[in-house]
A and B are shown apart, each in its own frame.
Chain A
Amino acid sequence: MTPQPKRITDIGPPHYEKFLPPIIKRNYGQWKYHESLAPGVLCHVSESGEKLYTVRAGSPRLLSIQTIRLFADLADKYCGGYLRFTSRNNVEFLLDDPTRIEPLKKDLREAGFPVGGTNNAISNVVHTQGWVHCHSSATDASGLVKSVMDALFDQFTEEKLPAKLRIAVACCLNMCGAVHCSDIAILGIHRRPPKILHNILPKVCQAPTLIASCPTGAIRPATVDGKQSVEVVEEQCMFCGNCYTVCPAMPLNDPENDGISIWVGGKVSNARTAPKFTKLAIPFLPNNPPRWPEVVDAVVNIVNVYAQNAKKFERVGEWIERIGWPRFFQLTGIEFTRYHIDDFKNAGQTYARSTHIRF
């Protein structure tokens, strides 16, 4: 047998220094301040006086190699081939020549990639895989993002909100994205217990692991048609899907009952107020592809009411804390229901425990 060439493993990512443009290498750690030149255009000024210009454009995150090659060509044409992506799936071109900003913006716009997403704008939407690639999704993430951002397009290309506004989409409670700390979160939900596939369950999963996976203890051992299986105490099921993650014989998908919930008021930044979780605004909206009109209307309504009522620099959660939740529901016209009242662990912490009530 001929010896195999040694496989290369455990090398980690390429070193970032290989990808930094010369202007960044010269001024690394020496940046003094930055200015916003226009929506989507930043200028960072170094102690040395050198200026770095960033042009930011939105992308659908799901990119073909054809589009990545287009970005590469634009980077070659305008900035020596140097570019980066942001934590919110935007692409950024790093220029040292300000005369190239406008031609680059024009090329980006013509190719269909909007420039914006900086400062008091709605930046790109952090989101998950959905029906494109996930087994546990209750909805499609990419289609929701596209539908919502089409409706809020001007909020990406302009900076006219009271503060920055961050939207995230997750297609199930696993929340592969910072949905739980976003200004507005769109979350796919299941609403029916798993349909147990008793015939395959003993073959594909271990009952003790499955039983232990349930956070509410709703899964119990059971004998079905003479075979070892499990049963679900349906009143105890909160449709989290953890059992399905550990056992494929517990699918929750249910086209009639799966849907969307809307959450508001979370933030990650420490600016002014502490980071906070999103809180439930709308417990259920129908899953209505391809354009999800009910979800789009609900999100646009919340953005508009926030934009009209919040003070300068108030994030959505800070605005709601100032005006109080009863007024949030009143201003947005969203119905308050029993589902808004927490009944999971430590639920009492979200009950009103004072007489501070606005009448």
Chain B
Amino acid sequence: MADDTKSKTKLLDELEKGPWPSFVTEIKKATATNPMCEDLLGQLELSYEEKKGHWKHGGIVGVLGYGGGVIGRYSDVAEQFPKVAHFHTLRINQPSGWFYTSDALRTLCDIWERHGSGLTNMHGSTGDIVFLGTKTDELEPTFKELTEAGFDLGGSGSCMRTPSACAGQARCEWACYDTLKLCNDVTQAYQDELHRPPFPYKFKIKCSGCPNDCVASIARADLSVIGTWKDEIQQDDGAVAEYAAGGLDIKKDVCDRCPTRCMDWDGKKLTINNGECVRCMHCINVMPKALRPGKERGATILIGSKAPIVAGALLSSVLVPFIPAAELFDTIKELLSRVWEFWDEYGKNRERVGELIQRVGMANFLDGIGLEPAPEMIAAPRDNPYIFFRTKEEK
């Protein structure tokens, strides 16, 4: 326990109290292996006193031959806290689905004990393993040991960012395609784009196995790959009866919550009008033993989501309603080459692909990438009459 009369971090010490695991305790633990963390605590305490951050803006640092993966960070109070004068971050590409062995984690810890603060994020918001805080001189040696151990850096800046995936078929009965494999295949296919920024701005790909979307791809990925199915929900009537016998109110909690009211429960038999089902997952979530996604599985591809900066937050919108699971990788590669070509040609500096689509219009974007418009792409047709009719016939 910290001694209140001697502690130099009285405000931060408050955050060691209470039941939730404390990040302050983590930083203090790491001081055992690296004194950088003492100055990190000191600078953070100063931020808590002054209500102000003390990291300087960016700084271009990295490893030889890569244009991403390292975030430069310098203290603006380095005289006071010299051990964190440089405190750069490395982003390290996580294995698909964030699965590890204890040995792999220990290897990462040992590398980071030798070369950095010993502090990490497991994981960063995009999905990378984040090594938090080291000096410029240590970047290349860290990278060398990481690659020798089979790990590589993730993306930053105007690179393709590290793709991520839900647990998928490794641990989920709802995964409508192999999210781990697609995520890994896409990551390996675009190593150049991941390490050497080729784009107007960042580009994120996230793979969710079903419409529950556990990696938030519809909110956070420029290209969202969300598993779905085309045929009928698989139904086990015996298991439905078990849920009813167990006290589940199937009419109220399942049928009445269905967004298209395509289900009926007569007290004995559950009937689903699959033609009206929009694959929302609610009934399957409530009765996982009785209902499962159909057998004709694949994914919906959506495009363009992002957080607010610059032109406002966007959710992804439908680009391809259904691609069979077996065709996903090849179709996505073909799509990406056309999307990136259009973005490269027309995108402005720091304009995400979703913002470009907003600016030029989805119809022009579809023309540009050679996709036919489909009614599944829209919530409703336009409600204004200002149509840019073509005055010349297309060839």
Chain A positions within 8 Å of B, measured between CB atoms, are: 7-16, 18-20, 24, 28-29, 31-35, 44, 52, 54, 58-69, 71-73, 75-76, 81-87, 89, 91, 94, 112-114, 126, 128-137, 139-140, 142-143, 145-147, 149-150, 153, 156, 170, 173-181, 209, 212-213, 215, 240-242, 244-246, 248, 251, 253, 255, 258, 266, 268-273, 275, 277, 287, 289-291, 312-313, 344-345
Given A65-B109, A68-B120, A246-B350 in contact, is the A289-B101 Cβ separation under 8 Å? no
Assess whether A289 is in contact with B48, with CB atoms less than 8 Å apart. Answer: yes
Is A83 touching B100 in the complex (CB atoms < 8 A)? yes
Q: Tell me the chain B residues, 1-49 only, with Cβ under 8 Å from chain A.
A: 11-12, 14-15, 17-27, 29-30, 32-33, 40, 44, 47-48
- A136–B52 CA distance with the chains assembled, in angstroms: 10
| Central interface residue in B65, B106, B215, B226, by most chain A CB within 10 Å | B106
Closest-CB distance, A345 to chain B (whole angstroms): 6
Stretch at the interface among B147-155, B335-343, B369-377: B147-155
Complex contact B309–A76 (CB within 8 A) = no
B125: shortest Cβ distance to chain A, in Å?
5
The interface residues of chain B lying within 8 Å CB-to-CB of A312 are 253
The 9 sampled A-B contact pairs (Cβ below 8 Å) are A24-B170, A52-B171, A66-B118, A71-B102, A81-B102, A131-B52, A132-B44, A143-B48, A241-B309
Q: Are A13 and B292 in contact (CB under 8 A)?
A: no
| Interface residue B219 (Cβ < 8 Å from any Cβ of A) | yes
Of all chain A residues, the one with the shortest Cβ separation from B315 is A275
Give the docked Cα–Cα distance between A35 and B173 (Å).
11
Q: Is B259 touching A69 in the complex (CB atoms < 8 A)?
A: no
Residues of A within 8 A of B123 (CB): 61, 85, 89
B378 at the interface (CB under 8 A from A): no
Q: Which residues of B contact A133 (CB under 8 A)?
A: 55, 73, 87, 89, 132-133
Q: Given contacts A9-B195, A20-B99, A44-B171, is CB(A146)–CB(B15) below 8 Å? A: yes
**Counting CB contacts under 8 A, is B285 at the interface?**
yes
Q: Which of B22, B53, B285 has the most CB of A within 10 A?
A: B53
Residue of B20, B48, B100, B150 contacting most chain A CB atoms (<10 Å): B20
Q: What are the interface flags for B40-70 relative to A under an 8 Å C-beta threshold, 1 for contact and 0 otherwise?
A: 1000100110111111111000001110000
Q: Would A16 and B51 be within 8 Å (CB), given that A271-B211, A345-B311 are in contact? A: no
Q: Which of A87, A89, A255, A266 has the most CB of B within 10 A?
A: A87
Q: Are A7 and B65 in contact, CB atoms less than 8 angstroms apart?
A: yes
Cross-chain contact B102 with A28 (CB below 8 angstroms) = no
Our count of residue pairs bridging A and B at CB distance below 8 angstroms stands at: 360
Whether B269 sits at the interface, judged by CB under 8 Å, is no
A145 to B44, CA, bound (A): 16
Q: B280 at interface (Cβ–Cβ under 8 A)? A: yes
Residues of the A chain whose Cβ atoms lie less than 8 Å from the Cβ of B324: none
- Would B282 and A287 count as touching, CB distance under 8 A? no
Most buried by B among A8, A130, A180, A246: A180
Closest CB in chain A relative to B252 CB, distance in Å: 8
| Chain B residues, Cβ within 8 Å of A268 | 213, 216, 218-219
Closest to B183 in A: A16
Contact A81 B21 (CB under 8 A): no
> B121 — which chain A residues lie within 8 A by C-beta?
61-63, 89, 129
A142 CA to B132 CA in the complex, in Å?
14
B53 near A135 with CB under 8 A, answer: yes
Binding site for A on B (CB under 8 A): 11-12, 14-15, 17-27, 29-30, 32-33, 40, 44, 47-48, 50-58, 64-66, 73, 87, 89, 93-106, 108-109, 112-113, 118-127, 132-133, 144, 147-148, 150-152, 164, 166-167, 169-173, 175, 178, 180, 184, 187-188, 191-192, 194-195, 211-216, 218-220, 226, 253, 257-259, 279-282, 285-286, 288-289, 292, 307-313, 315, 348-350
Residue of A nearest to B93 (CB): A13
Q: Given that A114-B20, A133-B89 are contacting pairs, would A19 and B213 also be in contact in the complex, using a CB cutoff of 8 Å?
A: no
A86, A135, A215, A275: the one within 8 Å of B213 (CB): A275
- Assess whether A240 is in contact with B44, with CB atoms less than 8 Å apart: no
Does A24 contact B171, Cβ atoms closer than 8 Å?
yes
B contact residues around A84 at 8 Å (CB): 97-100, 167
Instruction: Kindly report which residue of chain A lies nearest to residue B259, judged by CB atoms.
Output: A272
Q: Are B171 and A16 in contact (CB under 8 A)?
A: no
CA distance in complex: A180, B309 (Å): 11
Q: Please, how many angstroms separate the alpha-carbon atoms of A313 and B61 in the complex? A: 48
Q: A90–B177 Cα gap in the complex (Å)? A: 24
- Chain B residue at minimal CB-CB distance from A142: B23
A334–B126 alpha-carbon span in the complex (Å): 33
A277's nearest neighbour on chain B, judged by CB, is B313
Asked if residues A153 and B53 are in contact (CB atoms below 8 Å), the reply is no
Of chain B, the residue at the smallest CB distance from A278 is: B313
Q: Using CB atoms, name the residue of chain A closest to B88.
A: A133
A85–B51 touching, CB < 8 Å = no
In the complex, the chain B residue whose C-beta lies closest to that of A112 is B21
In the complex the two chains form, is B11's CB within 8 Å of A289's CB? yes
Contact between A89 and B309, CB atoms less than 8 A apart:
no
Q: For residue B259, which residues in chain A have a CB less than 8 angstroms away from its CB? A: 272-273
Instruction: Judge whether B23 and A65 touch: CB under 8 Å.
Output: no
Across the interface, do B211 and A269 meet the contact criterion of CB distance under 8 Å?
yes
Would B20 and A174 count as touching, CB distance under 8 A? no
Q: A137–B53 contact, CB under 8 A?
A: yes
With contacts A85-B122, A345-B311 taken as known, whether A271 is within 8 angstroms of B53 at the C-beta atoms is no
A13-B96, A16-B180 known; A212-B20 Cβ under 8 A: no
Question: Do the beta carbons of B48 and A54 come within 8 Å of each other?
Answer: no
Q: Do B312 and A68 have beta carbons less than 8 Å apart?
A: no
B171 nearest in chain A by CB position: A44
Contact indicator B133/A271 (Cβ below 8 Å): no
B30 touches A58 (CB 8 A): no
Query: Is B20 touching A60 in the complex (CB atoms < 8 A)?
Result: yes
A72 touches B105 (CB 8 A): yes
| Chain B residues in 8 Å Cβ range of A19 | 95, 99-101, 104
Note all chain A residues with C-beta closer than 8 A to B187.
12-13
Contacts of A240 in B (CB 8 A): 308-310
Contact among B53, B98, B172, B307 with A44 in the assembled complex (CB-CB below 8 Å): B172
Name the CB-closest residue of B to A54.
Answer: B171
Contact status A20-B118, CB under 8 Å: no
Q: Given A19-B100, A75-B102, A272–B22 Cβ distance below 8 Å?
A: no
Closest to B99 in A: A19
Q: Are B257 and A12 in contact (CB under 8 A)?
A: no
Bound CA–CA A277/B292 (angstroms): 28
Assess whether B164 is in contact with A131, with CB atoms less than 8 Å apart: no
Q: A15-B184, A131-B44, A271-B285 are in contact. Are A72 and B106 (CB under 8 A)?
A: yes
Q: Could you say which residues of chain B place their CB within 8 Å of the CB of A60?
A: 20-23, 26
